[in-house]
Structure 1
């Protein structure tokens, strides 16, 4: 972890020192707002002049990131999938559609606090070139070509400056290309592992969006392919780059919360977009979309169909629909098990991976789920309300996950320990338990309060942030949109891709490598199968397989 050269040893020992500008900063941060400032002010008043370094000490503010090497080899990329997330990842790599540049420039004109354009222009040059793109929707493929050629990050009236990459009609053709070293895969869930496996076998380094896999059998296959090929693999959990998560890992590691037995995490949303009812893009039709390719790898589809029928879950599948062109299914594919991994694969995986990063929990011993389609009666088969309880008896630990797509009530990641509780989001707050053993003396002396956080960590507190949409606000609050490195704001996806590229150059292992990805996938599959089958699922650690419990 990098040292904070601006802090003295005394400042490192006292969390409140060196933060005299917090009033000005927090008052201008829409994501935190007045509530965060109120919490901070109460803590500051309670701790003023009181030394707690004998019971609570953390390092400086700087997180640990793999720094780029100078004059590193240029890496030639291929992009597979240019939908919502594909566009984000392309921008994170340094290539934006001119129309997006126009939009953020206009946002800044309307709101001077919106600095997204400036920050994007200051984003690191990752020394990559995009030589090939593939998307089965013509409009997306053409947009990907335009973005990839926009090496100067210009708006619609600019000179893009780069060569237009080749458009491939199939991902297999792209993977066979000699002028591509690595691929970014941002397709629907049911294609992730298939493409990652074939990319690894073709010797291409892989960055694939979460979740790792759509079916359990392919989870083993992609791990084997990656390990046998020796390629550098990164799963798209950009939260791995979040400063607060790294700070939380340190705090847990030092035992500052005491024994942690219970964790609560959630993902609440309350909008059609948040429930995957995405816009249907103009110009989409059977003439511009290769529906046959969209349907999925026949072998993987058969695995899915066999599992569903074998377990009496035919109500969740629509085989008669798979051959029928549907704009709703193409753009809103997350709503159907036929292509999706549901709340477990899409949203739970973010929360689990954060917990795994912070506490290194691995695959749980058991998972029990409940929920249903309670709000969005639009024909979807995946639930819009889900609860899952994961257990690690060997760690004396439970994790409760809950989600609703019809309420935006915020609830952060809460780690409950015997001595203190820690809430982690885009900031970090620790509140000491009134019955703590570790802090008992300080509590009785009135040095540590128990009715308000006594320690808060706010990355980038000397910066002013602005978000421009409810979607941005949602991800910003969860620490998934941006973080800070030495006081400078970074897009977490940019840092995650940068780490992957530098691991390729430097022969290192990324933070969300294939082992962490395997843990994520199996955990999500346990939660999904528990929901579908109505029974607890167990993990046999020795055999590395999911085992069914008795049906409820």
Structure 2
């Protein structure tokens, strides 16, 4: 049993990220120069979308030294009022995020809107000269990806996607272990994210004052189909495909970002999904149970599962299987179980004649003489755990603000984010088409 302290974990993270950092630095050499912010200056942050995720993200972001919240945009007046309760009466609030983008004192925005607003808010922000932390999934439609990537490049803004697993020190350790051959050659990855509660199934509370007067319903709808005011759609938007991306966009995308970070893969080439609304039959059109299989060009298969009626407690994790062992990620811990192949393959000779058995036994003995291993004991199981109280969300925001200051590319740029979200949404596409679907992870296009 091995427990690593924070310093050891961070060292592993730096080693694992070195290759990606070199690529980012090479790209930066050809990009227009923008003066880095002084580490002593506050980065002025604005929040766009002050729901559950947005407020939680902001609380974490403000723990990073040198960050100040100056503005909040949301379509519900109650959340704007609460923003002032949380962060002070001097915080500027508005229903229209374009008013935030027009402010010269805003350096960066945190976008935590419903998925169908991700692309437009991010593109508008970058064109207004703001750096962007964009909640996952990066896209709602496949056409969103190229536009976000192109805008980030043309404006030379920092855009980081909010799948914090790529900043997790445990995942960095898993990446290091896999590359070092701890479990041999990888052949399968099994990942899950299960829940068994009403809140876990997105049945969020609707406030008593919800109405067309307190909620900007037309602005919320944006490009979505125009329907009559519906408070459940407004406050529980993840349950409908018009605004969200289902369990694939909410949870599968985390599993993809983790898989891609650890393996170094750009994504799958073939996908097959299945799912349905099995329990939460409340009018939603987003499945509450989904399973999917993916083929990766590196020679492994990925199996994903989300179950909102799993009969137990919430459960998230990975199992990486190689030809010499397994590596499990549970929370902020990594457990490696090594089972190396035996040198002696054994024999199946009992059905042969006695004479043939003697000949084969003699030949086998010459080829595989009996060995008597010596030396130190062998650790079949090793456990690596992040420090108690560790937060990968904090590290992810710390990495983002460091990129804002230094103008170096972030740990999860738009290309990485598109490859993770594009792969995740293959599950939805397969179910919709009732067919196997194909994706080119290099060109990031549906085949």
Give, in whole Å, the separation in 1 of the partners of 2:3 and 2:95.
58
Rounded to whole Å, the distance in 2 between the matches of 1:347 and 1:544 is: 20
1:525 to 425, 437, 443: 425
Say whether 1:142 aligns with 2:48: no
Alignment of 1:96-495 (within 5 A): 123-124=63-64, 126-149=65-88, 164-296=90-222, 298=223, 301=224, 319=225, 322-392=226-296, 394-407=297-310, 408=312, 410=315, 412-425=317-330, 426-433=332-339, 435=341, 447-448=377-378, 454-460=381-387, 463=388, 489-495=389-395
1:503 maps to: 403
Distance 1:350 1:370, change over 3 A: same
2:58 matches 1:90: yes
Q: Which one has the largest radius of gyration?
A: 2
* 1:10-49 deviation line (CA, Å, top 9, x unaligned): xxxxx64999xxxxxxxxxxxxxxxxxxxxxxxxxxxxxx
CA distance in 1 between partners of 2:210 and 2:173 (Å): 45
1:504-532, Cα deviation, whole Å (9 max, x unpaired): 11121111111211111211222221121
Deviations 1:289-344 (A, max 9, x none): 00001102x3xx4xxxxxxxxxxxxxxxxx5xx42111111111111111110011
Partners of 2:157 and 2:144 in 1: CA distance = 18
1:184 to partner: Cα distance: 0.6
Summarize deviations over 1:97-134 as a string: whole Å, max 9, x none.
xxxxxxxxxxxxxxxxxxxxxxxxxx44x212222211
Q: Provide the rounded CA distance (Å) in 2 between the counterparts of 1:402 and 1:17.
A: 29
Aligned structure 1 segments of 4 or more residues deviating by more than 6 angstroms: 441-446
For residues 79 and 517 of structure 1, the distance between their equivalents in structure 2, rounded to whole angstroms, comes to 20
Contact 1:239/1:492 (<8 A) preserved: yes
How many angstroms does 1:375 deviate by? 0.9
Identify the structure with bigger relative contact order (alpha carbons < 8 Å, sequence gap 6+): 2
The alignment covers a number of residue pairs equal to: 397
Q: What is the deviation of 1:82?
A: 0.8
TM-score, normalised on structure 1?
A: 0.67
Distance 1:247 1:341 in 2: 30
Query: Cα deviation per residue 1:406-463 (whole Å; 9 max; x = unaligned)?
Result: 013646200000011000122111112263679xx999769437xxx51111222xx4
Q: CA RMSD in A?
A: 2.7
Question: What's the offset of the Cα at 1:363?
Answer: 2.2
Q: Give the corresponding residue for 1:482.
A: none
Unaligned runs of 5+ in 1: 1-14, 20-58, 95-122, 150-162, 302-318, 464-488, 548-552
Tell me: CA distance 1:226–1:436, structure 2 relative to 1, closer, same or farther (3 Å): farther
CA distance in 1, matches of 2:91, 2:4: 49
For structure 1, which segment, 428-437 or 170-179, has the greater mean C-alpha deviation from structure 2 after superposition?
428-437
Secondary structure, in 3 states, of the residue corresponding to 1:395?
Answer: coil
Q: Secondary structure at the match of 1:535?
A: coil
Counterpart-to-counterpart distance in 2, 1:18 and 1:505: 30
Would you say the 8 A contact 2:206–2:235 is kept in 1?
A: yes
Cα offset, 1:74, TM superposition: 1.7
Q: Secondary structure at the match of 1:274?
A: coil
Residue 74 and residue 386 in structure 1: after superposition, are their counterparts in 2 closer, same or farther (change >3 A)?
A: same
| TM-score for the superposition, normalised by structure 2 | 0.83
Query: Following the alignment from structure 1 to structure 2, what is the Cα–Cα distance between the partners of residues 508 and 544?
Result: 23
Relative to structure 1, the CA distance from residue 62 to residue 540 in structure 2 (aligned partners, 3 Å threshold; closer, same or farther) is closer
**Partner of residue 78, structure 1:** 46
